Amino acid sequence: MSDNNSKQTDLFQSTIASKKYSTYRVPYPIELPEKIVSLLSKKRKPPHTLALDVACGTGLGTRILAKHFQRVIGLDISETQIAEATALEKSPNVTYQVCAAHSLPVDSNSVDLVTVATAIQWLDLETFYPEIDRVLKPGGCLMVYGYSSRSIKYHFKDKSDALTKLYNDTLFGTYIDYWTYRKPYLWNHYRDLPLPYKENERDDSMSWRDEVTVDDVIGYTSSLSFFEKYEQDHSDADRLLQDLQNRIMDILDVKTAPDKTVVGREFPLFLVSSRKPSEIT
């Protein structure tokens, strides 16, 4: 997910990066779209005609809105991300366009909902928020949500704490300088994110839990922005992944191969809503 107002227009641009993104990124909980629509409907009643998912990447947060809106448009500055999202899409009312976040391709006062999924830390809020205000209908909402890799917890017997510490120390200790967000709002679960309107709500009740192989853990790591940035600067970047895998396997102390070794994984999900004032009647 990226935007041409971001410092990182060179990230998530390759076909390989987009494939990693769609393969390894964590899906969103099934209750998320229901909570989004419930929040929106408090003052913006159905039917809901149009939703925009900005910085949509490969469409993980776009397609979950399909059954709740007459039209959904996913927007991203990366042509390869949009191509991957389009190839994966099955809903006829969902489309994708290459587009910058500060220049949305819709009419003023035409949008019920704008979402940004795990991506607003890349955007220039000074140009994005005025554009949001232009396109939202009165009473419409901007909803920002996401996971933070910094809050991930891994579970494996009595090794959970050691495994989680290794992962966090590696990504956010050894390689901290390769995280190049415009602002690190994601790491604090968007609690310090400036919002465009005065009527705001948040929901911290959701999380994603699953079981993945160690190979999947490494694949997920390879899909993160810090690794793509590291890869740009180091021709032997795969050694980082191999070293992390070796250290994980040392902690787990099992005889199975990485692609057969299963660990639990848990991400907290955070959702923030900011509502445009309704028209005065």
Instruction: Tell me if residue 28 falls in helix, strand or coil.
Output: coil
The strand pairing partners of 270, in sequence order, are 146
Q: What was the pLDDT predicted at 115?
A: 98
Tokens representing residue 50 in the block: 């149009």
Q: What was the pLDDT predicted at 6?
A: 39
Cβ neighbours, 10 Å, residue 95: 16
Average pLDDT rounded to a whole number, residues 64-71: 97
Whether residue 21 is predicted with pLDDT greater than 80 in this model: the reply is no
Whether residue 107 is predicted with pLDDT greater than 60 in this model: the reply is yes
7 vs 15, higher pLDDT? 15
For the chain, where are the alpha helices, taking DSSP H only? 15-24, 32-41, 79-88, 125-135, 160-169, 214-222, 225-233, 238-252
pTM given for the model: 0.91
- Mean pLDDT of all residues belonging to the chain: 92
With beta carbons less than 8 A apart as the criterion, state whether 105 and 8 touch. Answer: no
Q: What was the pLDDT predicted at 180?
A: 83
Q: Give the angle 212-217-219 at the CA atoms, nearest 5°.
A: 115
Q: Mind listing the pLDDT tens digit for each residue in 173-200?
A: 999 999 987 778 999 999 999 999 999 9
pLDDT band for 259, please (50, 70, 90 cuts).
very high
Q: Measure the CA–CA gap between 277 and 281, rounded to whole angstroms.
A: 12
The answer for residues whose C-beta is within 8 angstroms of residue 131's C-beta and 6 or more apart is 101, 102, 103, 104
Choose among 165, 143, 144, 141: nearest CA to 153: 165
With beta carbons less than 8 A apart as the criterion, state whether 119 and 58 touch. Answer: no
Place of tokens 């959904």: 72
